[in-house]
Amino acid sequence: MNKETIPTIDIAKITTKKDARIAIKKLSDAIHFHNYYYYVLDSPIIKDREYDKLLFQLQELEEKYPDLKTATSPTQQVGGAPREELGLIPHPIPMVSLKTVYNEDDVLSFDASCRTDLSLLEVEYIAELKFDGLAVELVYENGELVVASTRGDGQTGEDVTANVKTIKEVPLILMSHKDVKPPARLVIRGEVYMSHARFNELNKRREDEEEDPFANPRNAAAGALRQLDPAVTAKRPLQIFLYGVAEATGYTFETQWQVLNTLPKWGFKVNLQYSRICNGINEALDFHREVNEKRDDLPYEIDGVVIKINSIAQQEKLGMRVRDPRWAIAYKFKARQETTKLLDITVQVGRTGRLTPVAELAPVNIGGVEVSRATLHNLSEIERKDIRIGDTVIVERAGDVIPQVVGPVEEQRTGSEKKYNLPKSCPICGKAISVSSDKKYAECTNRSCPAQLRRSIGHFVCKAGMDIEGLGWKRVNQLIDAGLVTGFASLYSLTVDDLTNLDRFGDRSARSLVDEITKSKERPFHSVLFGLGIPLVGFQTAKLLAKEFRSVDRLMNAKLDELIAIDTIGPEMAQSIITYFSDNTARKTITELKKAGLNLTAKEAVPSEQPFSGMTFVFTGTLTKWNRDEASEIVENLGGKATSSVSANTTYVVAGASAGSKLAKANQLGVKVLSEEEFAALIKS
């Protein structure tokens, strides 16, 4: 126990601002100090209870004296105020990436060219882990964290300061070390990541809340780091390892080893346990082999080893190629692959009604995890890879927790393998399946299919539809499971009593949901029409139909040629409308909705101006909330256009994780770039 490190402060006795300032300083210093022991060194020197008390006292004082709250207060680590968008931060020195190699020969030729260029017989290297996360840059001025940014395109990154502050291992104030005083300005780099344990926890939580799980810890970390609301980041705990210095006034480091050993003295977390000085390239290759063996036992994901020349003078002598340095390489591990038998292909009906083919495999252990199922993504993927039932297939787990089928081992075919045929009927409800015109996706056509019902209710209550706030997936599912919701109209007969009988509904929340539902009866005809979810009828078309036909009765009886005569309605869409209304269930629904008092005729003029009218969007990189088709559909429903190439006419480029050339082009053309969260916020607004 370390009594000197716990300030004793009696909050009741603090009555002046001057005293408050002194107390706040003492508390902040103490908390920063203990954060280091707890989070960086992983060995706290006070009890949790004592730590909590310090934090609580600080919060109390800051509430009382809000103007004494600083940007580097430990209380910032629970998340600051949400923002509209992430600002951009230029990097003082470009953040380059590394040349990647996959085999020993390439490592040996890297070494050979280093030795030649440096005229040395042997080079000293530092081998480090290659953490599979996101690179960040942290800027400290006068010992305080002022800016944190992502790599972005290498020249300019996104401002993630508030989010990085929630990472407990990041010191908001540098520690002072007796031998190495912190520099006046320090720019350092490292990798933000999410541990396996935290990743699994987060995904479990997401599944409970019926949100799609993240495919791997890297995507999860990217999502958390680029949040607009730091409070959300704080709930998805991230970690960091620092590995480089870009600027440190007053310091000239001689070696990378010195860098790695100096950073901890200022309070940073460095992975010294798995960093090694290697005399000659063979020792680096040994390190790679050793780490490859241990990789499944590490609590975080790594995808290789980084080999860097230790001497900074030698690094400078070798300099840079266009995109990467000549003095370092990333020697990646091979993806974790195994072969096994593909026993069968089944389909899974997702929450949205889409059918996803799933590979049923003879169980196989891949890197410590037993795998018996893997996703096949979609129908065209099976076709493209020519995967047949009975095949021996290669299955991969590449940083991804969800295993993938890479492809068949054709040499092992016996001739008894069978091509996959999509079932004729939905495995959940037994009704017909429809396949998209590009043959990529299949969907169950039965709107009362339990899986489908969820989808149609979700669509019906969405913002552009009936706009029923307070009805998210969780509640939609709950209402369906309780048998209270069997179709659109049943929503309008829900009572407060029905709801209060359910879990997680109090009197107030029940009443407010019933009020919301009642209020939705005022939604205009075109919103109701959109909410019905007629296949191929987006928001624009719904408006057009409302404008042309002005009542559902006229629309229901419209003939094919009447529909096709309308500009922008093609034969496929016209047929879809006719098919929809020729179904008895749909006609019955319309009658019920009329009875419930919804607008099934256009009362006023249908507005034609759309929020995204005249705007063009390009999606790039990996999106986590939607796939590209879905994102494009959202844009189109709001009157915008989604295209695949960036030009000066593009309004926004929406960049997900690992966006590449399109993002670079957008920056070059000065096209505004939105993160996925910013895009989500834009739709909401």
- What residue ranges bind ligand IVH (CB under 6 A)? 96-98, 128-131, 135, 151, 191, 243-244, 306, 325, 328, 330
Min CB(489)–ligand IVH separation in Å: 53
Q: Which residue has the tokens 């009329």?
A: 594
Kind and range of the H or E element at 532? none
User: 328 or 555: whose CB is closer to ligand IVH?
Assistant: 328
Q: Which residue has the tokens 């229901």?
A: 556
Min CB(104)–ligand IVH separation in Å: 19
Residue number with the shortest CB distance to ligand IVH?
135
- Judge whether 227 and 166 are in contact, CB under 8 Å: no
Compute the half-sphere exposure of residue 421: CA atoms within 13 Å on the CB side of its CA: 4
Min CB(333)–ligand IVH separation in Å: 13
- What are the distances in angstroms from CA 319 to CA 247, 260, 328, 606? 17, 20, 10, 63
Min CB(313)–ligand IVH separation in Å: 16
Closest CA to 342 of 325, 329, 361: 361
Min CB(220)–ligand IVH separation in Å: 16
Min CB(525)–ligand IVH separation in Å: 52
> Cβ-count burial of 290 within 10 angstroms (0-12 exposed, 13-18 middle, 19+ buried)?
middle
Assigned token pair, 326: 């000549």
Dihedral pair phi/psi, residue 342, rounded to 5°: -90, 105
Q: What is the DSSP letter of 597?
A: T
What are the E-state strand segments in 367-426?
369-375, 392-397, 404-408
User: 291 or 558: whose CB is closer to ligand IVH?
Assistant: 291
Separation of alpha carbons 146 and 157, rounded Å: 15
Separation of alpha carbons 202 and 108, rounded Å: 41
Q: What is the DSSP letter of 464?
A: T
User: 6 or 134: whose CB is closer to ligand IVH?
Assistant: 134
User: 136 or 405: whose CB is closer to ligand IVH?
Assistant: 136
Cα 362 from chain centroid? 31
- Judge whether 653 and 678 are in contact, CB under 8 Å: no
Min CB(216)–ligand IVH separation in Å: 15
Closest CA to 284 of 304, 259, 264: 304
Q: Which residue has the tokens 């944190």?
A: 148
Min CB(277)–ligand IVH separation in Å: 14
Min CB(167)–ligand IVH separation in Å: 16
User: 244 or 639: whose CB is closer to ligand IVH?
Assistant: 244
Side chain identity, residue 334: K
User: 244 or 656: whose CB is closer to ligand IVH?
Assistant: 244
Separation of alpha carbons 107 and 289, rounded Å: 13
**Cα three-residue angle 207-211-217, rounded to 5 degrees:** 75
> Cβ-count burial of 154 within 10 angstroms (0-12 exposed, 13-18 middle, 19+ buried)?
middle
Separation of alpha carbons 520 and 535, rounded Å: 22
Min CB(619)–ligand IVH separation in Å: 23
User: 131 or 679: whose CB is closer to ligand IVH?
Assistant: 131
User: 98 or 653: whose CB is closer to ligand IVH?
Assistant: 98
Min CB(302)–ligand IVH separation in Å: 8
Cα 410 from chain centroid? 36
User: 129 or 449: whose CB is closer to ligand IVH?
Assistant: 129
User: 264 or 350: whose CB is closer to ligand IVH?
Assistant: 264
User: 151 or 295: whose CB is closer to ligand IVH?
Assistant: 151
User: 150 or 637: whose CB is closer to ligand IVH?
Assistant: 150
Closest CA to 251 of 342, 185, 334: 185
Separation of alpha carbons 93 and 90, rounded Å: 9
Instruction: Give the residue numbers annotated as catalytic, written as ranges.
Output: 130
Assigned token pair, 678: 């910013």
Four-point Cα dihedral 498, 504, 506, 510, nearest 10: -50
**Cα three-residue angle 425-428-431, rounded to 5 degrees:** 35
Dihedral pair phi/psi, residue 287, rounded to 5°: -60, -45
Listed in sequence order, the DSSP H helices in 81-216 are 104-118, 161-164, 196-208
b (16+ CB within 10 A) / e for 333-362 = bebbebbbbbeebebebebbbbbbbbbebe
Min CB(97)–ligand IVH separation in Å: 4
Separation of alpha carbons 566 and 558, rounded Å: 12
